[in-house]
Amino acid sequence: MTVTRLGNLALGCIALLIIICGAVVMNNPSPSPLTSGIRFAGLAGFVLLVVAAIMTPWSREIYHTFGTSFTRFHHIFALGGLLAITLHPSFLAIRLLTAAIFVPRFGSGLTSLANIGRLSLILIYLSVAVLFLRRYLPKYWRVFHALIWGALALGIIHGTLIGTDMKNPVLFVLINGLAIVAIGAFFVKRLKGRAVPV
């Protein structure tokens, strides 16, 4: 099968989102190229992971629209997002010469919320790791894999509170709009799951 017009349009919109993220970073570059890389990796990673999450309720539609299996298509975006979102703190660790930024910090107030991205990264990896254990957790792996939704919620809080580029109104609307669509997809997935038992 080949990609339909709708599929090409969807891929174009996703590419445009990534281009907008890069353009916003380039329009307001950091003194250090590495810092600009930190910013872009965070934005691109979030976009790709959210896109991967949004498509989950429509596995059949994905196959007919993009001419490939849902699993393969979903994993392309998920792995791309995982790579980018991993580079986000990794570049920061290189810049600061410390691995402490990977350790979650708990406390109270906005400072704790701003650093909640560290916990988000852990949840993302847990949701991915459980895929390799689903043979041993046939009844529960989906529950653990759903941690990605919580991770994305924490990620948007983190980015909104301390993200340099989230001060750009266009990007703020786009990123938060994606998050809202992802929330909608989460509920659609739950409703479909109840209507059609697996």
**Domains of the chain from N-terminus onward:** 5-195 (1.20.120)
Sign of CA dihedral 7, 146, 128, 181: positive
Q: What is residue 3's DSSP assignment?
A: -
Return d(Cα 182, Cα 178) in angstroms, integer: 6
Q: Tokens at residue 87, please?
A: 């580079």
**Closest of 12, 54, 24 to residue 159, by C-alpha:** 24
pTM of the full structure: 0.91
pLDDT band at 180 (very low <50, low <70, confident <90, very high): very high
The overall average pLDDT reported for the chain is 90
Contact 53, 149 (CB under 8 A): yes
- At 118, which amino acid appears? R
Q: Which residues contact 80 (CB under 8 A, 6 or more apart)?
A: 48
Q: What is the pLDDT of residue 113?
A: 72
Q: What is the pLDDT of residue 198?
A: 36
Return d(Cα 76, Cα 62) in angstroms, integer: 13
pLDDT band at 164 (very low <50, low <70, confident <90, very high): very high
Mean pLDDT of 116-145: 89
Q: What is the pLDDT of residue 67?
A: 86
**Cβ count near 132 (within 10 Å):** 9
**Closest of 79, 64, 84, 60 to residue 155, by C-alpha:** 84
Q: What is the pLDDT of residue 193?
A: 66
Write down the residue that tokens 């847990």 correspond to: 126
